[in-house]
Amino acid sequence: MRETNNVAQSGSNEGPLLSGVALRYATALFDLAREANAVDAVAGDLGRFNELIQGSEDLQRLIRNPIFTAEDQIAAVAAILDRAGISGLAGNFIRLVASKRRLFALPDMIRAYQDLVSDAKGIVRAQVILAEAPSDAVLNEIKAALRDVAKADVSVDVKIDPSLIGGLIVKMGSRMVDASVRTKLNSIRLAMKEVR
């Protein structure tokens, strides 16, 4: 099983603490989902809620801003869950997280849960960062190359970062390959400075 210490890094100052909280909650939910034979259903619902978070600055503010009371967060989350049709274990989990004032860690909890599901299925998760959205053909080539390297099924999470200019960055487990144009340009700049 893959190391899970940094499964849910948020990039915040609370890194390891947040990772521990996210992993504990995700593990508890995963155990419940497994008992209820609902691992995939919960993963789907959590994925949909995560997409709602990513697509709404208001929702991001709600989950990250400590100015909102627990009651405000619970009410808002309940309305969003009802509108999105997310109920059952995933809905109850998100409501519990809101009631415990842990919504700020929910994206990390979702990521940790997805990693637990992938581990249980023997699927390796990889993050691919590109300067622009890839065509289906390019994405399929990337997936095939990662499958060859991992010697297992690979779940690819694609992120777009125009600052890369071109190329890509691949993170898979503890490995990272940075083949971005930005990094190559920075290397050239550094080499030119050393020549002087």
Residue 13 forms part of a structural domain: no
For residue 51, give its domain range.
Answer: 18-119
Residue 101: per-residue pLDDT: 92
Residue 74 and residue 86 share a domain:
yes
Residue 4: per-residue pLDDT: 37
46 band by pLDDT with thresholds 50, 70 and 90: very high
Residue 127 and residue 113 share a domain:
no
Could you read off the pLDDT of 17-42 as tens digits, one per residue? Answer: 557 899 999 999 999 999 999 999 99
Query: SS3 for 49?
Result: helix
Domain count, the chain: 2
- Does residue 181 carry a pLDDT above 60? yes
Average pLDDT over residues 11-22: 60
Q: Among 119, 138, 158, identify where a domain stops.
A: 119
Q: Among 119, 146, 161, identify where a domain stops.
A: 119
| 187 membership: H or E segment, kind and range | helix 181-195
Alpha-carbon torsion 51, 54, 58, 59, what sign? Answer: positive
Residue 6 forms part of a structural domain: no
Could you read off the pLDDT of 108-128 as tens digits, one per residue? Answer: 999 999 989 998 998 988 999
Residues 168, 134 contacting (CB under 8 angstroms): no
For residue 37, the tally of other CB atoms under 10 A from its CB is 8
